[in-house]
Amino acid sequence: MSGLGAAMAGGNPANGRKKDDFYATVDTDVTEALLQRFHFGPRKIHECACGTGEMAEIIKAYGYEVVATDLVDRGYGAGNIDFLSLTQPAAPVVITNPPFKLAQEFVEHGMRDLKLDCMALFLKSTWFHAACRTGFFYRLPPFLKLDLTWRVDFSGQGRPTMECSWFIWKRGHKGPSAFRPLERPRATRLISAIK
């Protein structure tokens, strides 16, 4: 695949993948758009791949209590905490931008092992476009997929190429999954509430 083609697919051909798949969500509109459109109730939220805290800070600004952890200590929240090794949930809801390569494991562990009420994961829009995830989709279908109507710049180079979505899983949901566009933040009505 050419450098341009790999970049358009969300890759990083010149430098390879970043260590621990760390791509900070510095576009705060990503989290703000989710929280303007989807209400998680008066709950504590676990940001379990908090990185340098951009997402956690927006969640706090919306009035939620946030438990911020990460596998690596990046100077924000509690470092050296492996979400996949937790035996008890830190909060009933998870909102995070996980390492894409571990996203399925995050959902399986969160929804099946920890029995979370809800998980909202920020992923590539095409995340389910893989034959290896077909069975997973039918076992644990997302409750809702919110497709961003803008592209996200993870490189910080001012060339946003990646199309992303929020995938939301809700305990007890059996399908079908709903799909909606998600516009950049502004005053919008809440489309759902989790109680």
Give the phi and the psi of residue 141 in degrees, each rounded to 5. -70, 140
Q: What local confidence, expressed as pLDDT, does residue 22 receive?
A: 44
Backbone dihedral region of 35: left (phi > 0), alpha (psi from -120 to 50 degrees) or beta? Answer: alpha
pTM higher than the cut 0.75: yes
Average pLDDT value for the chain: 86
Which CATH fold would you assign to the domain 29-193?
Rossmann fold (3.40.50)
pLDDT of res. 24: 57
Which residues are bridge partners to 38 per DSSP? 192
25 or 186, which is more confident:
186
Strand partners, 145: 167, 179
Angle between helices 54-61 and 29-37 (to 10 degrees): 30
**Partners of 192 in the beta sheet?**
38
Query: Does 119 or 194 have the greater pLDDT score?
Result: 119
Q: End-to-end CA distance of the chain: give it in Å, rounded.
A: 46
Read off the pLDDT of each residue in 172-189 and give the average, rounded to a whole number: 84
Whether the predicted pLDDT of 104 surpasses 50: yes
> Phi-psi region for residue 137, left (φ > 0), alpha (ψ -120 to 50) or beta?
alpha
* Model pLDDT for residues 112-144, shown as the tens digit of each residue: 999 999 999 999 999 999 999 999 999 999 999
Quick one: how far is CA 11 from the chain centroid? 18
Domain segments of the chain as ranges:
29-193
Other CB atoms within 10 Å distance of the CB of residue 47:
30
- Dihedral sign (CA 72, 105, 28, 90): negative
Task: Determine the pLDDT at residue 159.
Answer: 77
User: Residue 22 corresponds to which tokens in the numbers above?
Assistant: 């760390």
The DSSP bridge partners found for residue 122 are 166
